[in-house]
């Protein structure tokens, strides 16, 4: 698996703002969207292109356009939802799938409650999004589901990752390209990322 760590100052700056416990829900949600867009710009640099014919005021010419309908953005619910609009702003014709997973608070094991992917999933470039890659359990389960449904070309974008999650995901799915906004120090005893930003879903949706 190739792992790409973001180095752009704008991404670093915005992630620092996200970490601040005083950042409001509205600001946090905007930052998630902006970071997703900036990371999407990087992650989609090898996006499939097709030729189209365009008539300029001078002449007809064949020029490249993004094969946008071939892209599937797949957020892991809930927190991944916050990243969708940022990437969709870059590729408005991208199709959206959803995978519902939650971590059991005691065991930290992921549990699936929803999965709906755009067909034909086997032909699409798939970008799975979730702001947090902690133990890696949710990411691995999400990629497992996508592969079971026939998905092949898979990228995974997380804004903050723990070394434990990067290791687990790269070992379980070495074919998946991983894009990480910032690699943090470690997990704590509750499997939260340190220093992290707390519970991403709660901060996006204002549920705590």
Collapse the DSSP code of 11 into the 3-class scheme (helix H, G, I; strand E, B; otherwise coil) and give the result: helix
Residue 196 interacting partner from ligand PRP, ligand URA, none (CB closer than 5 to 8 Å by kind): ligand URA
d(CA 132, CA 193): 8
Q: Does 134 bind ligand URA (CB under 6 A)?
A: yes
Contact (Cβ atoms closer than 8 angstroms) between residue 155 and residue 43: yes
Q: Does 199 bind ligand URA (CB under 6 A)?
A: yes
What residue number has its CB nearest to ligand PRP?
201
- Contact stretch for ligand URA (CB under 6 A) within 14-22, 32-40, 115-123, 198-206: 198-206
**Contacts with ligand URA in 72-91 (CB under 6 A)?**
79
d(CA 208, CA 25): 10
- Contact stretch for ligand URA (CB under 6 A) within 60-68, 81-89, 91-99, 189-197: 189-197
How many CB atoms within 10 Å of residue 96? 16
Q: How far is the CB of 177 from ligand PRP (least distance, A)?
A: 18
Residue 136 interacting partner from ligand PRP, ligand URA, none (CB closer than 5 to 8 Å by kind): ligand PRP
- Contact stretch for ligand PRP (CB under 6 A) within 67-75, 96-104, 114-122, 173-181: 96-104
- Contact stretch for ligand PRP (CB under 6 A) within 12-20, 56-64, 103-111, 146-154: 103-111
d(CA 45, CA 80): 21
Q: Please, what sign has the CA dihedral across residues 82, 101, 181, 146? A: negative
Q: Which one among 132, 166, 176, 180 touches ligand URA, defined by CB under 6 A?
A: 132
Q: Looking at the DSSP assignment, which residues form a beta bridge with residue 100?
A: 77, 114
d(CA 126, CA 153): 6
H or E, element range at 181? strand 177-183
Q: Closest by alpha carbon to 160, among 37, 27, 39, 2?
A: 39
**Contacts with ligand PRP in 4-63 (CB under 6 A)?**
none
Residue 108 interacting partner from ligand PRP, ligand URA, none (CB closer than 5 to 8 Å by kind): ligand PRP
Q: Which residues bind ligand URA (CB under 6 A)?
A: 79, 132, 134, 192-193, 196, 199-201
């Amino acid at each position: 698996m190739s792992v790409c760590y973001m180095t752009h100052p704008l991404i670093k700056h915005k992630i620092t703002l996200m970490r601040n416990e005083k950042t409001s829900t509205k600001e946090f949600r905007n930052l998630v969207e902006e970071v997703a867009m900036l990371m999407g710009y990087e992650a989609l640099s090898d996006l499939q292109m097709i030729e189209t014919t365009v008539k300029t005021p001078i002449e007809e010419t064949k020029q490249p356009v993004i094969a946008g309908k071939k892209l599937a953005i797949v957020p892991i619910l809930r927190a991944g939802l916050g990243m969708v609009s940022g990437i969709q702003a870059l590729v408005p014709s991208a199709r959206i799938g959803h995978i519902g997973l939650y971590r059991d608070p005691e065991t930290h094991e992921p549990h699936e409650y929803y999965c709906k992917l755009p067909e034909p999933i086997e032909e699409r470039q798939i970008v799975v999004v979730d702001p947090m890659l902690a133990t890696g359990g949710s990411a691995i389960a999400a990629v497992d589901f996508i592969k079971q449904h026939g998905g092949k070309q898979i990228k995974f974008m997380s804004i903050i990752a723990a070394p434990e999650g990067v290791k687990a995901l790269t070992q379980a799915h070495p074919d998946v390209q991983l894009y990480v906004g910032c690699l943090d120090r470690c997990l704590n005893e509750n499997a939260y990322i340190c220093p992290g930003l707390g519970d991403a879903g709660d901060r996006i949706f204002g549920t705590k």
